[in-house]
Amino acid sequence: MAKLETFEDLLELSSVKNKRIYEICQEYEAERFETSVENIRKQVKYNLEAMKHAIDEGLKSSEKSVSGLCGNDCAKLLERYKNGKSFFSETYQNVLLYALATIEQNLRMGKIVACPTAGSCGIVPAVIKSMTEAISADMETEINALLTAGIIGEIISNKLALAGAVMGCQSECGVASAMAAGAMVEIYNGTSNQILNAAALTLKNIMGLVCDPVAGLVEVPCVKRNAFLAIYAVTAAEMAMAGIESVIPIDEVVDAMKQVGELMNPSLKESSEGGLATTKTGLRITQELSEKWKNTDCV
């Protein structure tokens, strides 16, 4: 297969071969790993099942993390919805619930799929599961969506590290949101161009997002950020499906995102030396946790 290093390459292959992005992805991965397309799809199905399991477990639990900072937000939201209170439709409710359920399972050391990272693990599963449920889509559609999300993340990773410590949270939750937006467009049978525009629109509007975890833990603001960024993905997909395009092509958006990440002060890249981590409350929490763990085995 021809090179697949940029989104321009991906769009060209999709056009020349007259195939959808997920088809290009599964063929590319099969060639890379010297296996069959069938085996690639089996692995993707396995990952989907792991994502769904994390959501199911997360919806059943309100157990807090070791720090005590997070763990019961999903339960609070679920209780609100059970009482018939919501500004959103059921599908949007599920986007929020599934995102929180997954990231909270990560805090409890449950099994999750890092997509693309553990700290952003709730976004892609939330969008794929909620949107496929909304239209009663089959497993093949879910697999196609996750393949689409995967190739978006992979191509971005060709240019920049998907790590908050290197590029800020724009490269974790931001990239996850772009992946989810592309997946959603695939679920609703959008074009290759619409898929990439959805990803571009997402990245443009999350550019510069810092990584400032309180006490160095992937909890505050990371947990709630997963829910917010899942909704960002839905917004971008909606716009792209309406024919709204990103004025700046996605490859250039990624270039700009890399530049912003490199310009970002190190104190805003997972070091907990700036942003929310150094607010009065953030510093107090850090001190309290330090004292709490000083004479325990909790690290």
Q: How much is the pLDDT for 85?
A: 92
Domain 7-293 is in which class?
mainly alpha
Task: Write down the domain spans for the chain.
Answer: 7-293
Helix 123-134 and helix 222-241: axis angle, to 10°? 50
Residue pLDDT, tens place only, 96-135: 999 999 999 999 999 999 999 999 999 999 999 999 999 9
- How far is residue 104's CA from residue 96's CA, in Å, rounded to a whole number? 12
Residue pLDDT, tens place only, 184-232: 999 999 999 999 999 999 999 999 999 999 999 999 999 999 999 999 9
Q: Does the pLDDT at position 1 exceed 80?
A: no
Interval 254-283 mean pLDDT: 98
Interval 237-259 mean pLDDT: 98
Q: Does the pLDDT at position 31 exceed 70?
A: yes
Residue 296's pLDDT band (cuts 50, 70, 90): confident
What lies within 8 Å, CB to CB, of 131 at 6+ separation is: 91, 137, 145, 183, 184, 187, 188, 234
